[in-house]
Amino acid sequence: MKKTRTLIYVIISIIVLSALLFILVNVNQNKKEADGTSEQIIESFEQVTDIQVFASENVTLTKKKQGWQVVDAENEVDTDKMESFLLAMEEMTGEAVEVDKKNVNLDFPKVTVSFADTEGNTQKISVGQMNGQGDRYYVEQLEKEKIYLVDRSSIETIPLKRTALLDTKILTISAEDVTGMEIDNGTEVIQLSKESPYSEKESLAHLSGWYMHEPYQNVYSVAFSKMQEMVVGIDKLEQVETVNGEGDYGFTDSDFSIEFSNGQKQEKLIVGDPAANNQYYVQIDGKQEVYKLPTKLLDPYSHQAYDMIDRFVHIVSLNVIDELSIKTPEDKVTYTMEHEETNAEEVKTTVFHEGEELNTESFRDGYKQLAGLTFDEAYNGEAVEEEPEVTITYLITDENNEITKNTIEFSSISDTHYAIMKNNNNQIDFTVQKDKLHQALEWMIQAES
């Protein structure tokens, strides 16, 4: 029994010592990496005139009087991409570490970059694997025979293909100057524009600043997140490659196209058949070139109209309303508002009912329920002849000191839903649940009291 207990103690001691040894080795290794002072990787970069990248595709850059050029490039150089790469190489620093090359994939590196000057002097770096934290790469400077840890942001500017430094944008219209889009997805034509049918005061609550004019009969504000994806996505529409060869590529029978406009010109992107590697064939209408484009770049434009819009029945800031009237089968109530600009350039609003001042903050809480009321379904039924059960009217003095009136009418089409009509036009796009509207109105009444 005593021998067994002694053996157990010995085994436990060995395990503890092994664990301590493992910790000490790793701490020592980390200390070696952390203790390395930052060193410049490429010296006298301003003298470099030729750069070669040996990777999945060899990329050769040469410095001429007009600037850096990509040898055998099919497109113009993207100056922003080129400058980012050159600056990253010029400012690249690293911390020297003591590691075995084969342990960090530097015995047979997949990426090597050579820098040469006019006198034939050459400096080379090879890129290995990332460190354990995933924030730096192991990089060998071959002439110095030293290995460094280099920030990944510098290394990931290295072009592995010629196209990585070229202007591969398919459109000449940019995110900065686009003012309209028309998306034909085969089932509906969606027309988007920065042209607003509302006054500036009414538009304050429309965050994206974009409006959907088709396919619905009324105009609706586009949701900020969806519109942001589409606008930002314009500058990301870059080709993977130009396709050489004859063929239709599905353009004749295409059921997906996007037309972009900037007020002066239009460019229509036609999407054809799927290509390999999760890509699509695309073409600009009227041009011969055919490109391959990653599918994910088309995703922002692939939503249905209903999924793009803000679904508010009618949203407007309380701080711009002069009068709000609500008519129901039981009653009609009218609220008036007075607005005063404060020294902090904020608006102080006071609400009255029948000449009596209300608690504005309580009323504002109730009004949020009405302003945030959303519709539920698209309406595909016939015109509604019945008189509306509920009518809400907004009066606003616009920036031209003119009175703007918006009337929202709710007509019963079933036991559970109202059809929504705006400004007496009898054009119905959507419906709202009766319970949702009734609850919002109840909040208003409670807030008044």
CATH of the structural domain 318-448, one choice from 3.30.1490, 3.30.2420, 1.25.40, 2.40.10: 3.30.1490
* pLDDT for 26: 44
Structure tokens at 92: 């690249």
Q: Which two tokens stand for residue 223?
A: 């949701």
Tell me the one-letter amino acid at 259. E
* Contact status, residue 8 vs residue 75, Cβ threshold 8 Å: no
Alpha helices in 224-324 (DSSP H): 224-234, 305-308
Q: How many CB atoms lie within 10 A of CB 219?
A: 17
Reference 423, options 386, 448, 377, 391; nearest CA is 391
Which value, in Å, is the radius of gyration of the alpha carbons in the chain?
Answer: 33
Distances (CA, A) of 379 to 285, 343, 420, 426, 434: 34, 47, 9, 12, 15
Domain ranges of the chain: 39-165, 180-308, 318-448
Residue found by looking up tokens 């508002």 in the block? 337
3-class secondary-structure state, position 4: helix
Q: Kindly give the confidence (pLDDT) of every residue in the chain, 449 residues in length, as a single tens digit, with 9 standing for 90 and above.
A: 444 444 444 444 444 444 444 444 443 444 444 455 889 999 999 999 999 999 989 999 999 988 999 998 878 898 989 999 999 999 999 999 999 999 999 999 999 999 999 898 999 999 999 999 999 999 999 999 999 999 999 999 999 988 889 888 999 999 999 999 999 999 999 999 999 999 999 999 999 999 999 999 999 999 999 999 999 999 999 998 888 777 899 999 999 999 999 999 999 999 999 999 999 999 999 998 999 999 999 999 999 999 999 999 999 999 999 999 999 998 899 999 999 888 777 889 999 998 899 999 999 999 999 999 999 999 988 888 889 999 999 999 988 889 999 999 999 999 999 999 999 888 899 999 999 999 999 887 776 65
pLDDT at 449: 56
DSSP summary character for residue 30: H
Tokens representing 140 are 């060998």
The pTM is what?
0.75
Which residue bears the tokens 């007020």?
263
